[in-house]
Structures are given as structure tokens and as C-alpha cells.
Amino acid sequence: MLKIRSLKNTDLVDCAEIILKAFKKAPYKEKWTKARVLRSLRHDSKGQIRLSLAALENKKLIGFAIVQLVPWDTADLYFVSTLAVKDSEQNKLIGTKLLVELEKRAKKRGIKSINLNANTKSKAFSFYQKNGFQATDWVNMVKKLGSRD
């Protein structure tokens, strides 16, 4: 039976394995190493790990949401920096259940919005729309810094 609970620091190694596989594929094509994923996960969850969620089946971690509390103009908001489900467990509503649980917990804390970034070319984009998320006018901007020679 699926269990959703707060994430623990000891789960981060399993989260790293899921990220390595999930974000290697298009459209992401990210080139994480295990060490760098772990560094990123520790950074994003530092001091707030209990806000993040783990989905477990038979005590094995199969999905997670990394969440930060962000003080904003009139209220605090939740920012989901990563949501991922193990490849073999996708399309079984686990991602949806993680979002439903997150929303339930957020409402209890008086949080007024859940924010995240999604790649418009990914399956996740329509998944988020189905789950009630709307694209805003804000876009992610990047300046790539090449070498000068």
C-alpha cells in the first residue's frame, strides 16, 4: 500500500537515484552525477526537510517532492524544487497523490500558493496543469557564460 510521509535525510540517497534516471531523458538531458545530485538535494532541503514528502511502497521510496517554505510579499508560499517518481512507477497516480498531500499540508499551515518551475516541453507540464497549476507571466532567464577565447 502506498504511504506518503515527510521526507527524512536518510531518504536522500534514494531520491538521488530517481533523479539520475528521470532527468537524464529528454527534454531535460541533465548530466548529474550522484555526488552532485546529493549536494543539490541537501541544499534544497536544508533545515526544512520535514516539509518535503516521500512516497513509499512496501517501505521502498518510489517518489518524492522537495519543498521549501518561501516568505513572500503578503504570505509564505511553498516552492517545489523537485518532484519525481521512479521510472517504473510513473503513471500510477503517485505524483498526483504527492501533490494532493502537499496541498492538504499547505492548507493546514495557512499557505496560500504552491509554486514551481516546469519545462513546457515535458510531460510534467500537462501533469501540473491537470493538477490545477497555471503558467504565469514569469519565465526562467539564463545567461550562459562562455569562455572568452
Which parts of this chain interact with ligand COA (CB under 6 A)?
Answer: 22, 82-85, 90-96, 118, 122-124, 126-127, 130
Q: Is the Cβ–Cβ distance between 54 and 64 less than 8 Å?
A: yes
The three-class DSSP label of residue 83 is strand
Q: How far is the CB of 74 from ligand COA (least distance, A)?
A: 26
Q: How far is the CB of 136 from ligand COA (least distance, A)?
A: 16
148 burial via Cβ count (<10 Å: 0-12, 13-18, 19+): exposed
Q: How many Å apart are CA 31 and CA 23, to the nearest integer? A: 8
Concatenating the DSSP letter of every residue in 92-132 gives: SSHHHHHHHHHHHHHHHTT---EEE---TTSHHHHHHHHTT
Q: How far is the CB of 106 from ligand COA (least distance, A)?
A: 17
* Strand ranges across the sheet with 60-71: 2-6, 53-57, 60-71, 76-85, 114-116
Residue number with CB closer to ligand COA (109 or 123): 123
Residue number with CB closer to ligand COA (37 or 94): 94
Residue number with CB closer to ligand COA (31 or 148): 31
Residue number with CB closer to ligand COA (48 or 129): 129
Q: How far is the CB of 99 from ligand COA (least distance, A)?
A: 8
Residue number with CB closer to ligand COA (34 or 75): 34
Q: How far is the CB of 129 from ligand COA (least distance, A)?
A: 8
